Each structure stands twice: as structure tokens, then as C-alpha cells.
Amino acid sequence: AQRVTQPEKLLSVFKGAPVELKCNYSYSGSPELFWYVQYSRQRLQLLLRHISRESIKGFTADLNKGETSFHLKKPFAQEEDSAMYYCALITGGTSYGKLTFGQGTILTVHP
């Protein structure tokens, strides 16, 4: 069965420090992975997906099939990055497939 694991429930860093939010997955098929973010009092929104290989708000994530990981990284954290981050895996196809979410990581960036 598919599973997404985010081992850190809480992560605290200081402004300007590098940050890495860990995500590991378990899936027998070809994975398509996403990071979603929920800022305080805002709705959950898509941050980035592995297929696009783009950097959004300074964040990047690389799919490592050998380690079955999709860690989210940013070299210099900002206070406005404080939010809940979810890693998600789509199964059953990219159309009408099912998103399976990890447990979420609450990132706090201190001034």
C-alpha cells in the first residue's frame, strides 16, 4: 500500500538558516509527488511538484527513487516560511488519482 512519511512533526530554525523538511514514500508504481503548504489562517495550497523541477519561493525538492525520498529544501529560511507543510503522493494515475498525504510538518522560522 502507498504511504507517505514525514518524520518530523515540528521543525524550528532561525531566519537565514537552511531548512530541510523530510519526506519518504512507499509506492510500488511510478511516483508523482507534491508539497503542499498551509500558512496560518489560509487554505492549503500546492507549493511544488516533482515533475516541474522548479523552485517556488526559494524551495526545491528532488525526487530520489533510490532512497524513496522527496525532501523539501530552502537554503535561507525566512519568517514568512512558517507554516504547515504536507508531502503528498498521487496514486491511481495523475487524472482522478488519489492524493495520499504525510502527517505534516509544522515549520517555525524564528527571527
Partner 1 sequence: DTAVSQTPKYLVTQMGNDKSIKCEQNLGHDTMYWYKQDSKKFLKIMFSYNNKELIINETVPNRFSPKSPDKAHLNLHINSLELGDSAVYFCASSLSGSPDTQYFGPGTRLTVL
Question: Which residues lie near partner 1 (CB under 8 A)?
Answer: 34, 43-46, 49, 84, 86, 88, 90, 94-101, 103-104, 106
Closer to partner 1 at the Cβ: 19 or 35?
35
Count of CB atoms situated within 10 Å of the CB of 36: 20
The three cell numbers of residue 38 are 498551509
Closer to partner 1 at the Cβ: 25 or 86?
86
DSSP secondary-structure letter at 79? G
Closer to partner 1 at the Cβ: 71 or 85?
85
Q: How far is the CB of 93 from partner 1 (least distance, A)?
A: 8
Q: How far is the CB of 46 from partner 1 (least distance, A)?
A: 7
Under a CB-based contact definition with an 8 Å cutoff, are residues 85 and 35 in contact?
A: yes
Alpha-carbon distance of 17 to 21, in angstroms, equals 13
